[in-house]
Amino acid sequence: MKIDIKTALKAHKIGINTLAERMGITKQSVHYFINQGDKNSFDTIKRISEASGIPEEDFFVETKHHVCPHCGKELHIEIK
């Protein structure tokens, strides 16, 4: 699983400025959380969820790994 805050915000039509205001933080802090991705703690995701009204599970994206049959490189496919 992967944490994808940006996609969840976009899907729920919540802007970075709006989330920053609701959380009482700067928009730069929101950008930091977005860029942290999988490094965010569950407490951070919970805080973002509570401020945005987005269910916590919407921040998690399932990923599956496949290998290219031609070159053998690992392919990353995200299911959203």
The domains of the chain are located at 2-79
Highest mean pLDDT among 16-25, 55-64, 71-80: 16-25
Per the prediction, the chain carries an average pLDDT of: 91
How large is the average pLDDT for residues 19-25?
97
Q: What is the pTM of this model?
A: 0.76
pLDDT of residue 67: 74
Q: Residue 77 above 80 pLDDT?
A: no
Q: What's the CATH architecture for 2-79?
A: Orthogonal Bundle (1.10)
How large is the average pLDDT for residues 39-56?
96
Q: What one-character-per-residue DSSP string does 1-51 give?
A: -EE-HHHHHHHTT--HHHHHHHHTS-HHHHHHHHHHGGGS-HHHHHHHHHH
